[in-house]
Chains A and B, each alone.
Chain A
């Protein structure tokens, strides 16, 4: 015996349909607009301006009017930040998953959660304060630059790395631990020889997502040394350009329609980059799920 649906059920159904249509529509409009404005600007000269690409890439010829220096800046920034954050994040994740217990574990994970929730501009402000302190004490000429930005970005992605590592290790089947123990492994051996290799995929997933996050953040680098026209990054303490800042700068200060087209094309490039990272992470994740659900590893 079925009764006709009540009014409130109809309302919920209608509203959820509306929401489910609205959100993809927004994404569609966003992508469509970006493609419409950005695709005409996609070409080699978008990256290299009038400089021959090979000269720019191999002989570091200066590039004016192109995205290449910004790409180089973002690349060095991401590499440096990851170099700082990945070892720290993975080690902390393993410790929280396997060693920490009781109150210590609760306190440490609370700190990590708190770090994850802090607005990114505060990381930038922290870096800025660090420079103010250095100027007052040991290094009067200290200034914001590449290394400082990388440090602050490392703080930004650290909690992601810690929690993905921790979840990857904790999510492994209990049988793996038992196997190790039954073979007479010590706890350290179980962690190093069994759990870590098995969790590698999941950890790698986290690293890729963190790369995407570090590449797109603008608020942190805004306060710690990015500028509009620095050319290729020359030293660790020097100023540099970066893709997301370049887009932000052009959106506010563009002078010609060509520059605006460049901004949209740069946004497409950046979106492609973060989208690629995201797709890679999803791919790995899907493979991972399958691996442990069917119980066969290869």
Chain B
């Protein structure tokens, strides 16, 4: 499986997770906050 579940949290590759969640529950039910990341 692409994800490992820890209670209400899944951990996985961002793109795979977004694609799978959107396919499962619909795009409007999936929010994403992926940026900003620190740049060093």
User: Does B bind A?
Assistant: no
